[in-house]
Structure 1
Amino acid sequence: MLIERLNILLPYQVRRLTEEDGDEIFALQRRHPEYHALFLNHKVKKADVLSDLTSIPEGVLPENKFYLGMYDVDNLVAIADVVLNFPTSKTAWLGLIMVDYDVVGQGIGGKIIEKLKQALMRERFKQLCTLVPIESDIGSFFDAHGFLTGEEMPMGVREDGCEIVGKLRTVDLNIIK
């Protein structure tokens, strides 16, 4: 139902991405080296992208994982990784949102976030959460879309051994106007 709602709300064709879309996803992601520098100590590889398509947190059902592509005609303009009912029931987790480099700054990411919030609210979800690395400057993007800053949490360890620390960001979907 999430994809159907997003197809109504967004001016893009939204669909679940698969391994067959790996080249397209990789092409979009590799143009964002600053994002990947937060998590890796190497340039993003196609294997990283393919792994993200199916990786889910422990205890999550595969059908609750939505690695979504937003298309303007045949052009992939954005991707979003959404997990439903994680970390708790009626909470959605945004693992990633990334807009094609050529259209960054045109408000597409913000529009996707706002419509995702509306779609989740219509599905009776209570919260949308994400984790933003402290080292990044993307926190202001989430601030602008109503996400409140929460506690610091470990996000993992980069391949060079450096720990990644993030801040939990949460928006309460019950108070969206």
Structure 2
Amino acid sequence: MDIKSLSEKYIVKEADYTDLNQIFHLCQDNELYFKYCPPMVTIEGIEEDMNALPPGVSKENKHYLGFYNPTDKKLLAVMDLVEGYPDSTTIYIGFFMLDTEIQGQGIASELIEEVLNNLKELGFKKAKLGYVEGNPQATNFWKKNNFVETGRKLQFDEYVAIDAERKL
């Protein structure tokens, strides 16, 4: 997948170890997210997320992305995408976070819409994700962006994730 094609508005690049501090600073201000989805963010946790793969997925199909402002090159959002999971026509959003300084302005919804439209152009038919049960911000955001609960819940050590999907 050509990740640069996911956005015309922002610079998109695969995040790597040189981006860890920027990602950490973007995430650490989002206390509400980590209240519902512990533990609190750490550099080590970000590294683990960058390398974590669902069963049967190869490293080539995982994209831990940074979205940057083209003017000042500031990191605005982070997104973890997994191609072809759980099936070949589905894209899985493993993580998405927007800089708290620009939340509430519609930027996250615009970004999600742009990325999903571009993924549809690449041939994907559906997007899936899991959001943490009880987190009102996540619940409202994903529902507003046309993700529908599948009725499936995933139990993790410290929280429950609601399985949701959207046709592209």
Tell me the TM-score normalized by structure 2.
Answer: 0.92
Tell me, what secondary structure is at the counterpart of 1:69? strand
Q: Which runs of 4+ in 1 moved over 6 A?
A: none
Q: CA offsets, 1:84-130, max 9 Å, x none?
A: 10011110101111111111111111011101111110011110011
Alpha carbons 2:4, 2:11 under 8 Å: kept: no
Q: Any gaps of 5 or more consecutive residues in structure 1?
A: 159-163
Tell me, what secondary structure is at the counterpart of 1:152? strand
Tell me, what secondary structure is at the counterpart of 1:129? strand
Letter in 2 for 1:28: L
Structure 1 counterpart of 2:146? 146
Structure 2 counterpart of 1:64? 61
The aligned runs of 1:21-170 (5 Å cut-off) are 21-40=19-38, 42-72=39-69, 73-137=72-136, 138-158=138-158, 164-170=159-165
Identity between Structure 1 and Structure 2 (%): 27
Tell me, what secondary structure is at the counterpart of 1:22? helix
Q: How far apart, CA to CA, are the structure 2 residues paired with 1:143 and 1:153?
A: 16
Letter in 1 for 2:147: F
Q: Any gaps of 5 or more consecutive residues in structure 2?
A: none
RMSD: 1.3
Alpha carbons 1:19, 1:53 under 8 Å: kept: no
Tell me the TM-score normalized by structure 1.
Answer: 0.88
Alpha carbons 1:97, 1:109 under 8 Å: kept: no
Alpha carbons 1:33, 1:44 under 8 Å: kept: no
Alpha carbons 1:152, 1:165 under 8 Å: kept: no
Q: How far apart, CA to CA, are the structure 1 residues paired with 2:162 and 2:2?
A: 26
Question: How much does 1:165 deviate?
Answer: 1.7
